[in-house]
Amino acid sequence: MGRLEGKVAVVTGAGRIGNIGLAICEAFLREGAKAVVGTDFRRDEADAIVSRVESAYGAGRFRLAEHDVTSEEDWRRVIDETIGDWGGIDVLVNNAGISVHAGIADTSLEDLRKVMAVNHDALFLGMKLCAPALAEAAGRFAGGGAIINNLSMASYMPNANNIGYHVSKAAGRMLTLCGAIEFGPRKIRVNSVHPGLTMTPLIYEGLNDYVAAGLWETPEAAEAAIAGMGPLKISSQPEDTAHAFVYLASEEARFVTGASLYHDGGIGQRY
Ligand SMILES: NC(=O)c1ccc[n+]([C@@H]2O[C@H](COP(=O)([O-])OP(=O)(O)OC[C@H]3O[C@@H](n4cnc5c(N)ncnc54)[C@H](O)[C@@H]3O)[C@@H](O)[C@H]2O)c1
C-alpha cells in the first residue's frame, strides 16, 4: 500500500520536464495517489508530460491543467474540475515560483509585484480557495487535508541580488504559519518545504548565466560552489526534493503542522 493511497492532489508549476512540480506529481502517483492534477500556464511540454506520466502510471490518474496561479478565476476552474472528476481535494502543493534577479536599486516596482503575485499572492489564493474542499478530507483521512508550500532557503537567507524572490519566499513562510493556526481546527495541516540547490532546467539555465557573467568558469564549478555552502556539499535532484512533499502529504505527518522542512543540505542550520 502506498503512502498516499486514495488521496487527490493539486500540484502547481508542474509543466516542465525535469522540474520539482512534475517530480512531486510522479512521486505522489508512485505512492498510490488516487489522482494528481498538475497545473501550469506553460503548455509547450504538456503532451510530452502527459504521455510520460501515463506510460509510467497508466491513464486516468493524472491531468495537466492549464492554470495561471495568479488568476482567481483559473483557481476556481481547476478546483471545480478536480472535485467534479475525483470527488474532492486532499492535498494542495503550491509549487509554482519565479524570480527576477536584481537588488533593490535595480528592481522595478512592476517586477517586484510580478514576483510577489506568483510566489506569495498565488499561495494565498490557493490556500483560501482550496480550504473548503481540503476541510472535507478529514472525513476520509485521519491526517485531514494538507497544504504544502514550496518556499526556499531564500525565505530565511538574505541576498542582495534577488530581492523579490527572497522577500516573497519569506512572506510565504509567515503565510504558512498563519494558515497552520487558522486552518488547524478544520483539520487542514499547513507546512512548507525549503529546498536548497535542486538541479532543475531552471537552475541549469541560471548556472549558465553565471558563467556568461564571468562569475565561474563552468556550470559545474558554479554548482559546486553553491552546493559547498552547506555542510553536505551536494545538490539535490528533483526526485529527492519530492520525498519531502510525500512525507508532509502522507498520514505519517498527521501530527505535523506549521513546520518548515529544510531540504537544503544543511545550509538552513545557520538560520
Ligand atoms: N530548483 C531549485 O534549486 C529551487 C530551490 C528552492 C526553491 N525552489 C522552488 O521550487 C519551485 C519550483 O522550481 P523549479 O526549480 O522546479 O523551477 P521551474 O521554473 O521549472 O518551475 C516553476 C514552474 O512554475 C510555473 N509557473 C511560473 N509562473 C506561473 C504562473 N503564473 N502560473 C502557473 N505556473 C507558473 C513555470 O511554468 C514552471 O513550470 C519554485 O517555487 C522555486 O522557487 C527551487
Instruction: Give 10-residue mean pLDDT values along the chain (271 residues).
Output: 97 98 98 98 98 97 98 98 98 97 95 98 99 98 98 94 96 98 98 97 91 92 93 97 98 98 91 75
Specify whether 24 is located in the same domain as 83. yes
- Residue 174: CATH number of its domain: 3.40.50.720
For residue 31, which of 85, 87, 91, 94 has the smallest C-alpha distance?
A: 91
| Rounded CA separation 224/75 (Å) | 39
Specify whether 154 is located in the same domain as 64. yes
Specify whether 78 is located in the same domain as 104. yes
Pocket flag, ligand 1, residue 136 (CB < 6 Å): no
Total number of domains constituting the chain? 2
- Which of 37, 40, 148 is the pocket-test mutation for ligand 1 (most atoms within 8 Å of CB)? 40
**Cell numbers 490556500: residue:** 127
Ligand 1 center–CA 55 separation, angstroms: 24
| Rounded CA separation 17/33 (Å) | 20
User: What does pTM read for this prediction?
Assistant: 0.98
Domain that holds residue 213: 199-235
Q: Is 2 part of a structural domain of the chain? A: no
pLDDT of 15 reads 98
Give the neighbor-by-neighbor strand order of the sheet with 260-263: 62-66, 35-40, 8-12, 91-94, 145-150, 188-195, 260-263
Pocket flag, ligand 1, residue 118 (CB < 6 Å): yes
Pocket flag, ligand 1, residue 68 (CB < 6 Å): yes
pLDDT of 18 reads 98
pLDDT of 164 reads 97
Specify whether 206 is located in the same domain as 126. no
Specify whether 186 is located in the same domain as 101. yes
210 as an active site residue: the answer is: no
Specify whether 151 is located in the same domain as 49. yes
Residues 6+ apart with CB under 8 A from 109: none
